[in-house]
Amino acid sequence: MDAFLKIRGLKKHFGENRVLDGVDLDVAAASVTTIIGKSGIGKSVLLKCIANLLQADAGSIELDGQAISQSRRRAHSDAGVSFSYMFQNNALFDSLTAYENVALPLREATALKPREIQERVDAMLAQLELSASAMRFPGELSGGMKKRVALGRALITKPQVVLFDEPTTGLDPERKFSVFEMIADYRERFGFTALLVSHDIPEVFEISDRVAWLDAGKIKFFGKPDELNADAQSALSGFLSKANYGRRISSHGGAK
Amino acid sequence: MIRTLGRSALSVVFELGELSLFGLGALRGFFAQRSRLAKLTLAIHEIGVRCFPIIATVGLFTGLVMGLQLYYTLVKFGAESALGTAVALSLIRELGPVLTALMVVGQAGSAMASELGIQRNDEQIDALQTMSIDPLGFLVGPRLVAALICFPILTAVFDLIGIFGGYLTGCVLLNVDAGVYWNRVFESVTWADVQGGYIKALVFGVLTISICAYRGFNTHRKAGFPGVRGVSESATRAVVWSSVTVLAADYLITSFLL
């Protein structure tokens, strides 16, 4: 597999707590990779290190063969690479309408003309079936609609990599499934590479090309979802059985 | 004990350095922003327009009380004709800039610290960073520039309404001659007094808005508690530190100006 996003020896500690202790991960272009693991094990920390929201203590991150872990801001602009981040709680601006939230990165971080911005945002809202709610504030939208606005904002800059931090938190099973469908659908449509953190096992495996299991600061398993059973180490089996994976997989008739 | 003192001194120096860099970063970030005028207009509305009623009210009552107090002090020396001088100079040199700053801190500063704290907790500030938008320039810069514009204007409003309040108690209620009152006001106030008041207003504006924004923006690092309690602590500390800083800076500036 050609790695589009390559992470090597990534380390991050908070005080005495070594959260990431040499994470190695290869993510293929235009794929969906899901990171699973116990709560508080460092999955979100890993995403935040990739997005430069946290500074890693050591290690390297390469995107399409270019190092971006040193002086990230400069590297971002020099290489012309782009990450988008979809936050667990959406992180929408309450005082801005859905339209303004989606338009924000274009208005503030690009030199596009207002007309061009309007065309792109209108098209994005139409694709997300949000045109009728464009002028509503986040407080007036349902949970699913907020997720779609957040997704629209994450995708409007046409990023190469989108990082999803537990995108289905707080949603009912039906909405969870539709969010996963949406991610898979837009990944095909927009062609971005998705790195996902999720606790929704096994539902998330339906859209995942690869699964990475983070445990004790390292990636202990990396492979296709249907390899989980065959390659399951005892600790991973324990984690999966606690996540009801075995029971649910048999009722679903397979992970993929 | 010496070690503790040293550690505290170092921590204060570090905090001051961080605050200065924060303010400078916000100003620099503002001038790199797009649609600066729109953001500045919103910030002027938040700091200037919304604080206007409270500034006018406090200014009026301060002037009324000063008219009353100074009249009864001056009348003992048969110097009630100096009421206009006493009211105008006290307001323009000291009370105007200080009380204006304290009122803006109470109204806009606490709201700003809470809003930024909530935005920090809600990951909205992180979201800006992931969108390659400078959070300092976007959220703090316009407010700092607005403070530089609004504080002198609000101080002038406070001074004028306060002087009018002194006229109401002195001349309308206590029968000081109105012509003498206004004549003393115009004769005694020099450009140097007005200039000193404006210098204070500008310094207080930068200091208070920087401190309030700094506390809110760094809620995750500076507040002792997470979540809502952290936001309330940030807002409280922002108001307390801004108010103490205004009084300390007032003493320093006055000692330089006199």
What ipTM score was computed for the predicted complex, to two decimals?
0.82
Whole-number pLDDT of residue A229: 67
| Structure confidence by residue, pLDDT tens digits, B217-243 | 999 887 777 788 889 999 999 999 999
Element (H, E) at B208: helix B191-217
Chain B residue with minimum CA distance to A74: B132
∠ at Cα B137 (B133, B138), nearest 5°?
Answer: 60
Give the distance from residue A99's alpha carbon to the nearest chain B alpha carbon, in angstroms: 16
Instruction: Work out the number of other CB atoms within 10 angstroms of the CB of residue A234.
Output: 7
Dump the DSSP string for A64-109: TTEE-SSSHHHHHHHHT--EEEE-TT----TTS-HHHHHHHHHHHH
Q: Tell me whether residues A85 and B34 touch, CB distance under 8 A.
A: no
Identify whether the C-beta of residue A52 lies closer than 8 Å to the C-beta of residue A45.
no
Q: Tell me whether residues A109 and B138 touch, CB distance under 8 A.
A: no
Q: Tell me whether residues A105 and B35 touch, CB distance under 8 A.
A: no
Q: Which residues from chain A sit within 8 angstroms of residue B33, using beta carbons?
A: 108
Is the pTM for the entire model greater than 0.95?
no
Pairing of strands A17-28, A3-14: antiparallel
The residues pairing with A164 across neighbouring beta strands, listed in sequence order, are A86, A196
| Structure confidence by residue, pLDDT tens digits, A205-228 | 888 999 998 988 899 889 888 887
Q: Tell me whether residues B126 and A109 touch, CB distance under 8 A.
A: no
Q: Which of B127, B132, B133 lies at the smallest CB-CB distance from A91?
A: B127
As a dihedral over the C-alpha atoms of residue A204, residue A210, residue A214, residue A220, rounded to 10 degrees, the angle is 140
For residue A69, what pLDDT band results from cuts at 50, 70 and 90? Answer: low
Domain span at residue B196 reads: 2-257
Strands (E), chain A: 3-14, 17-28, 32-36, 58-63, 66-67, 83-86, 161-165, 193-197, 210-215, 218-223
* pLDDT of A252 above 50: no
Of B130, B76, B2, give the one whose Cα is nearest residue A91.
B130
Sign of CA dihedral B239, B25, A91, A42: negative
* pLDDT of A236 above 90: no
Q: Which residues from chain B sit within 8 angstroms of residue A107, using beta carbons?
A: 34-35
Q: Which residues from chain A sit within 8 angstroms of residue B35, using beta carbons?
A: 107
Whole-number pLDDT of residue A38: 86
Q: Which of B33, B35, B122 lies at the smallest CB-CB distance from A89?
A: B122
Q: Which residues from chain A sit within 8 angstroms of residue B37, using beta carbons?
A: none
What is the percentage of chain A residues whose pLDDT exceeds 70? 86
Q: Quick one: DSSP state of residue B16?
A: H
Task: Over range B95-121, report the average pLDDT.
Answer: 94
Instruction: Work out the number of other CB atoms within 10 angstroms of the CB of residue A248.
Output: 14
Q: Does B124 contact chain A (CB < 8 Å)? A: yes
The CATH code of domain A3-82+159-252 reads 3.40.50.300
Chain A residues contacting B via beta carbons under 8 Å: 48, 51-53, 76, 83-85, 87-89, 91-93, 104-105, 107-109, 153, 157
Q: Tell me whether residues B133 and A108 touch, CB distance under 8 A.
A: yes
Q: Which of B33, B34, B127 lies at the smallest CB-CB distance from A87?
A: B127
Element (H, E) at A31: none
Q: Tell me whether residues A76 and B129 touch, CB distance under 8 A.
A: no
Chain A residue with minimum CA distance to B121: A91
Q: Which residues from chain B sit within 8 angstroms of residue A151, using beta carbons?
A: none
The residues pairing with A14 across neighbouring beta strands, listed in sequence order, are A17
Sign of CA dihedral A51, A52, A57, A58: positive
Q: Does B130 contact chain A (CB < 8 Å)? A: yes
The residues pairing with A34 across neighbouring beta strands, listed in sequence order, are A196, A211
Whole-number pLDDT of residue B113: 95
* pLDDT, greater one: A229 or B221: B221
| Structure confidence by residue, pLDDT tens digits, A148-204 | 899 899 989 888 899 999 888 877 787 788 888 888 888 888 888 999 998 888 888
User: For the packed helices A114-127 and A98-109, what is the interaxial angle rounded to 10 degrees?
Assistant: 140
Of A223, A227, A82, give the one whose Cα is nearest residue A163.
A82
Identify whether the C-beta of residue B113 lies closer than 8 Å to the C-beta of residue B234.
yes
Of B160, B240, B247, B162, give the one whose Cα is nearest residue B204.
B247
Give the separation between CA A93 and CA B66, rounded to whole angstroms: 45
Tally of domains within chain B:
1
For residue B215, what pLDDT band results from cuts at 50, 70 and 90? Answer: very high
Q: Which residues from chain A sit within 8 angstroms of residue B131, using beta carbons?
A: 84, 104-105, 108-109, 153, 157
| Residue of B118, B131, B136, B221 to mutate for A, most A C-beta atoms under 10 A | B131
Kindly list the strands in the beta sheet with A66-67, ordered across the sheet, starting from the edge strand earlier in the chain: A17-28, A3-14, A58-63, A66-67
As a dihedral over the C-alpha atoms of residue B169, residue B174, residue B176, residue B179, rounded to 10 degrees, the angle is 50
